[in-house]
Chains A and B, each alone.
Chain A
Amino acid sequence: MIFKEILIRYGELSTKGRNKNDFIRRLRENIRYSFHDILPLNIRAERDRMFIEIENDEKYQVLMERLPEIFGIQSFSPVASCNKNMDDMKQLAIEIMAQHSNQPLTFKVEVRRTDKTFPYDTHMIQRELGGTVLSKYQNISVQVKNPDVELRVEVRHDAIYMMGQIVPGAGGMPIGSNGKSLLMLSGGIDSPVAGYLMMKRGVRIEAIHFYSPPYTSEHSLQKVKDLANELTKFGAKIRLHIIPFTEIQVLIKERVPENMTMTTTRRMMLRIADKVREEIGALAIVTGESLGQVASQTLESLTAINDVTSTPILRPLIAADKLDIIHIAERIGTYETSVLPYEDCCTIFTPARPKTKPKIEKVAHYESFTDFDELIERAVRNRETHLLPEKKVTADKFADLL
């Protein structure tokens, strides 16, 4: 194990002036959260970068595996160290460059001498280490202007530090640095992706799901929990609010003309979501809506649905193509769960021909004959909440079988 620490370069937050300390603090917290299973972590934060100490190989593996998924990190590098003499430095340079020796590439040696008393100057170090690497690996050559790899050498007071690999991070901003929003999580492909994109912009997420037993099964509920759970791996806990929705859905079907039920259903969902949002102190509502994808996502429908609230509704996917959304879902690991075949509350009582251009006045007119307020209050009051990730289930009924 030659690596002693991992150097982390901050994402966009370098440019954020006064808020910087807050961002660094959140990033540090998020890292500790994501690696809660390998604590304690020794994290040292500087103005433009952060160092995590590595004590053993296992820790190193876990860090390298999960760091690319944490928001607020532009890139990171494993850093090795050795004693301050030329033989050890050469040996370390060879070991670090070994990982790049499979394909032909160019490199240069970059030196930073914090310890000015070190007998070798920058040029000598570059020449010695460069020569060593060149004679060891045939397919590596030198390029100073635009090398594929920079072998960075830092001469510090205690030791020599070296790195030769820059791993791209997830970018974005640390979760929590941009407030909290409520995500409408359906169980489909889009909403988890919308949640992911907002989290990447530093938004802390709580999720709301509408559940219509007995028409939708326990499995569809489990599916939504699994999806929310998938999202927690990006560095934050997520609270999931499950709204009992059967009563309202049945009532809508009775009281509203069939081709309007879809619009009214969405309006009720949004009213409920808005109430929950207010209770939890979130500022906005996030949805996975994408323009024109289905009847409820035409501009006319969105307008009619949006009419029930003045809360900002964030729709990060509004202009995204389905294929691009699927691509992100696959990358973040929610796709496979999303396409499981369980029905959700939107697919029951679907009208054969829903209005794609509903008029607000008409919808409001039909709804005005029924008092939904009390049902909405009750649904909000009777909601179930789950904090994810959930603690592992205690009893394992398969244990003796395996």
Chain B
Amino acid sequence: MNSNTIYLDNSATTKPLPEVMQTFLQVNELYYANPASIHEAGVEANALLMRAREQIANIVRTEAKDVIFTAGGTESNNFAIFGTAQANVHKGKHIITTKIEHPSVLEAVKILAQQGFEVDYLSVNEAGVISLDELRSKVRKDTILVSIMHVNNEMGAIQPIQDAAKIIHEQSRAIFHVDAVQSFGKIPVQFNDQNGPDLITISGHKIHALKGSGALIFRKKLTIAPYIVGGGQEFGLRSGTVAVPQAVALAKASRIAVEAMAEKTLQYEKWYKDLHLFLRNFGSNIHLLSSEAGAAHIISFSVKELKGEILINALQKHGIIVSTSSACSSKQTTTSHVVEALNIAPSFKKGVLRLSFGAQTIDAHIEQFKTIFSDIMCDLKGENK
């Protein structure tokens, strides 16, 4: 990508911040020792790792020992699901999730379903939000795991985590896992005793840290089995030499994101409203998938009778990077499971586009997008705006 590129695909991944890269390089130069070693350099690396852990724990309001560093969101989700299922199988075999989860959750529960677990999938309304009544009716005494994502990666819907937590904790002993990959650093993500989650997944590369870093964070000492076994690192829960530079970079990026959260949210909301108004001008040719109640950094819409790919290519020619619904499924030809779950008209199913903002997005990017997009629509649809 050249420096003029307008990058509006921050929910797929982000560009690491310069100060985060600086941390990453410095830690690699100065504290490259194995944090499990007992020599001085190892002890120092471990002290730094603990500081990183503490910093993340403070943000989500838990204790340092409950932050387990992983290689990213997918591993954390797999770990949460397989680990919980394995450790709690004696209590029950019932799992609840939603139809719009990330594949790292859906594929994991699919494997558990093949192994004899019973899985219920919550449906969502047209705004992409689950029904608490449906959740209430599905949580049972033998439910051991409920996994609900905080912010949907394809269209930005925010799930009512607090209300869901109350229902889950009142009606069962289930562990409540929240995939907060798209929300952490953008909207507040915190533990809150009985009114919050038990497990939280976060990922580094969505908040301008490095790819290949993330964490699974625990509310308290839960019974969950390790998913990667070996040397017993990370309190025996995630073996493998800990990537200290990645972990420290993640802690720094988290702090920067949280400190800037209020300011960024205002910006995102402004752009979101602006683009909503702009897109409504195209009338019945465009259907908005994102709703006002969703996260402000993701805006998702669909153009009638058009393939998303065509629009992406057209925008790309003008140096604007956006994506179809999600990077993970954009190479598949079938409609995404999230779009299917939203129940939208068939003529809008193929043309989904997602714009997602990040820390490096500026006003001019949004203006440029609007100009170019109008031109493209004019060419493709003969629209006169």
List the interface of chain A (C-beta within 8 A of B): 218-219, 341-342, 398, 400-402
How far is the CB of B157 from the nearest CB of chain A, in Å? Answer: 31
Given A219-B43, A402-B55, output 13 extra A-B contacts at Cβ < 8 Å: A219-B38, A219-B40, A341-B38, A398-B47, A398-B48, A398-B51, A401-B248, A401-B252, A402-B51, A402-B248, A402-B251, A402-B252, A402-B255
> Hey, which chain B residues are within 8 Å of A402, CB to CB?
23, 51-52, 55, 248, 251-252, 255
How far is the CB of B26 from the nearest CB of chain A, in Å? Answer: 6
User: Which of B23, B38, B40, B43 has a CB less than 8 Å from the CB of A401?
Assistant: B23
Contact digits for B244-259, partner A, Cβ 8 Å, 1 yes 0 no:
0000100110010000
When C-beta atoms are compared, the residue in chain B nearest to A342 turns out to be: B38
Contact digits for B112-123, partner A, Cβ 8 Å, 1 yes 0 no:
000000000000
Question: In whole angstroms, what is the CA distance A130 to B251 when docked?
Answer: 51
Contact digits for B293-307, partner A, Cβ 8 Å, 1 yes 0 no:
000000000000000
How far is the CB of A347 from the nearest CB of chain B, in Å? Answer: 14
When C-beta atoms are compared, the residue in chain B nearest to A217 turns out to be: B40
Interface residues of A, dominant DSSP:
loop
Question: In whole angstroms, what is the CA distance A398 to B48 when docked?
Answer: 7
B33 within 8 A of A: no
B377 within 8 A of A: no
> Hey, which chain B residues are within 8 Å of A401, CB to CB?
23, 26-27, 48, 248, 252
Question: In whole angstroms, what is the CA distance A341 to B23 when docked?
Answer: 30
When C-beta atoms are compared, the residue in chain A nearest to B23 turns out to be: A401
The 10 closest A-B pairs by CB, nearest first: A401-B23, A398-B51, A398-B48, A402-B252, A402-B251, A401-B248, A402-B55, A341-B38, A402-B51, A401-B27
How far is the CB of B204 from the nearest CB of chain A, in Å? Answer: 14
Question: In whole angstroms, what is the CA distance A342 to B38 when docked?
Answer: 8
When C-beta atoms are compared, the residue in chain B nearest to A222 turns out to be: B43
Contact digits for B22-53, partner A, Cβ 8 Å, 1 yes 0 no:
01001100000000001010010001100110
Question: In whole angstroms, what is the CA distance A341 to B42 when docked?
Answer: 13
Question: In whole angstroms, what is the CA distance A401 to B27 when docked?
Answer: 8
How far is the CB of A330 from the nearest CB of chain B, in Å? Answer: 12
> Hey, which chain B residues are within 8 Å of A398, CB to CB?
47-48, 51
List the interface of chain B (C-beta within 8 A of A): 23, 26-27, 38, 40, 43, 47-48, 51-52, 55, 248, 251-252, 255
How far is the CB of A220 from the nearest CB of chain B, in Å? Answer: 11
What would be 9 A-B contacts, judged by CB atoms less than 8 Å apart? A219-B43, A398-B47, A400-B26, A401-B23, A401-B48, A401-B248, A402-B23, A402-B55, A402-B251
How far is the CB of A158 from the nearest CB of chain B, in Å? Answer: 33
> Hey, which chain A residues are within 8 Å of B48, CB to CB?
398, 401
When C-beta atoms are compared, the residue in chain B nearest to A396 turns out to be: B51
Residue from A219, A401, A402 with most neighbouring chain B CB atoms (10 Å): A401
> Hey, which chain A residues are within 8 Å of B23, CB to CB?
400-402
> Hey, which chain B residues are within 8 Å of A400, CB to CB?
23, 26
How far is the CB of B258 from the nearest CB of chain A, in Å? Answer: 13
When C-beta atoms are compared, the residue in chain B nearest to A399 turns out to be: B51
How far is the CB of B45 from the nearest CB of chain A, in Å? Answer: 11
Question: In whole angstroms, what is the CA distance A401 to B55 when docked?
Answer: 12
> Hey, which chain A residues are within 8 Å of B252, CB to CB?
401-402
> Hey, which chain A residues are within 8 Å of B27, CB to CB?
401
How far is the CB of B327 from the nearest CB of chain A, in Å? Answer: 29
How far is the CB of B379 from the nearest CB of chain A, in Å? Answer: 49
> Hey, which chain B residues are within 8 Å of A341, CB to CB?
38
Question: In whole angstroms, what is the CA distance A197 to B55 when docked?
Answer: 34
> Hey, which chain B residues are within 8 Å of A342, CB to CB?
38
When C-beta atoms are compared, the residue in chain A nearest to B65 turns out to be: A336
Question: In whole angstroms, what is the CA distance A401 to B48 when docked?
Answer: 9
Question: In whole angstroms, what is the CA distance A398 to B40 when docked?
Answer: 16
Question: In whole angstroms, what is the CA distance A319 to B343 when docked?
Answer: 71
How far is the CB of A113 from the nearest CB of chain B, in Å? Answer: 36
How far is the CB of A76 from the nearest CB of chain B, in Å? Answer: 21
When C-beta atoms are compared, the residue in chain A nearest to B245 turns out to be: A401
How far is the CB of B73 from the nearest CB of chain A, in Å? Answer: 22
> Hey, which chain A residues are within 8 Å of B248, CB to CB?
401-402
Question: In whole angstroms, what is the CA distance A399 to B27 when docked?
Answer: 12
When C-beta atoms are compared, the residue in chain A nearest to B50 turns out to be: A398
Question: In whole angstroms, what is the CA distance A235 to B2 when docked?
Answer: 61
Question: In whole angstroms, what is the CA distance A219 to B46 when docked?
Answer: 13
Question: In whole angstroms, what is the CA distance A275 to B252 when docked?
Answer: 51
> Hey, which chain A residues are within 8 Å of B51, CB to CB?
398, 402
Question: In whole angstroms, what is the CA distance A400 to B248 when docked?
Answer: 11
When C-beta atoms are compared, the residue in chain A nearest to B252 turns out to be: A402
Question: In whole angstroms, what is the CA distance A212 to B328 when docked?
Answer: 59
When C-beta atoms are compared, the residue in chain A nearest to B170 turns out to be: A102
Question: In whole angstroms, what is the CA distance A392 to B32 when docked?
Answer: 26
When C-beta atoms are compared, the residue in chain B nearest to A401 turns out to be: B23
Question: In whole angstroms, what is the CA distance A242 to B51 when docked?
Answer: 28
When C-beta atoms are compared, the residue in chain A nearest to B254 turns out to be: A402
Question: In whole angstroms, what is the CA distance A323 to B156 when docked?
Answer: 53
When C-beta atoms are compared, the residue in chain B nearest to A218 turns out to be: B40
How far is the CB of B259 from the nearest CB of chain A, in Å? Answer: 12
When C-beta atoms are compared, the residue in chain A nearest to B248 turns out to be: A401
Question: In whole angstroms, what is the CA distance A342 to B40 when docked?
Answer: 11
Question: In whole angstroms, what is the CA distance A34 to B225 when docked?
Answer: 37
How far is the CB of B190 from the nearest CB of chain A, in Å? Answer: 15
> Hey, which chain B residues are within 8 Å of A218, CB to CB?
40
